[in-house]
């Protein structure tokens, strides 16, 4: 099977896309956030790799073409933000304050947990960029000496958890303001959370898109300082 994968340039793309389509169909049928398409796709790909005894490096070699679309897809998030530019201007100070608090909360929580579980410095800095988009998080992790591959996994898990639990969190804490919901999702769960925010509404999606960018920049600055604390 590994020889088949090595001779194919599209196998990884096919099973990844097929897994995502299955996840979308499951979510449409059962209408629950637990059937997150990305989570379903990840689980199905892992199952295929395990059952067919396929090396991850071989799978990644044929699935890497999907990564090329990450940057343009992220840039496209600016479109709904531009459409809501007036809302951004009207609430600029509140938005910047909220995102600053969000970035600090993420960094402080990692510091506290790393101290409690006595993580090494390398493990600690690996987790610092857990709530920013992977393109930024990998750079932060590498710059600080962390495990960038583990950072990517943590970022994806944070995004999926936020996507799945966002509705529940908003209900429990009675968060109904669209701007607050969007900023919260983007600050905590980056692009994956933004997908869910866009399902809530255009304003939520726009604010979540903004949160990805601003939170990423704030984390770049804050992570350098927090890295020296442990």
Q: What is the DSSP string of 53-94?
A: T--HHHHHHHHGGGGGGHHHHHHTTHHHHHHTHHHHHHTHHH
Residue with tokens 């579980």: 117
Q: How far apart are CA 49 and CA 52, in angstroms?
A: 5
pLDDT band at 152 (very low <50, low <70, confident <90, very high): confident
Q: 207, exposed or middle or buried, with CB in 10 Å at 0-12, 13-18, 19+?
A: buried
Mean residue pLDDT of the chain comes to: 87
1 pLDDT more than 70: no
Q: How many residues does the chain have?
A: 230
CA angle 148, 154, 160 (to 5 degrees): 140
User: Structure pTM?
Assistant: 0.83
């Amino acid at each position: 099977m590994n020889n088949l994968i090595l001779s194919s340039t599209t196998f990884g793309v096919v099973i990844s896309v097929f897994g995502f389509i299955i996840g979308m169909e499951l979510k449409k049928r059962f209408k629950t956030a637990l059937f997150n398409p990305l989570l379903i796709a990840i689980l199905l790909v892992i199952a295929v790799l395990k059952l067919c005894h396929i090396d991850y490096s071989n799978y990644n070699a044929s699935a890497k073409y999907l990564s090329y679309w990450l940057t343009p897809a992220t840039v496209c998030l600016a479109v709904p933000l531009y459409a809501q530019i007036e809302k951004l201007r009207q609430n600029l100070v509140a938005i910047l304050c909220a995102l600053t608090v969000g970035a600090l909360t993420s960094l402080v929580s990692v510091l506290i947990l790393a101290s409690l579980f006595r993580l090494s410095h390398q493990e600690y800095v690996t987790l610092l960029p857990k709530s920013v988009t992977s393109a930024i998080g990998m750079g932060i992790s590498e710059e600080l000496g962390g495990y960038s591959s583990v950072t990517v996994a943590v970022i994806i898990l944070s995004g999926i958890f936020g996507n799945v639990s966002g509705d529940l969190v908003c209900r429990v804490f009675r968060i109904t303001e669209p701007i607050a919901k969007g900023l919260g999702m983007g600050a905590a769960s980056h692009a994956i959370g933004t997908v869910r925010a866009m399902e809530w509404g255009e304003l939520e999606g726009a604010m979540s898109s903004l949160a990805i960018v601003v939170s990423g920049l704030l984390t770049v600055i804050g992570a350098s300082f927090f890295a020296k604390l442990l």
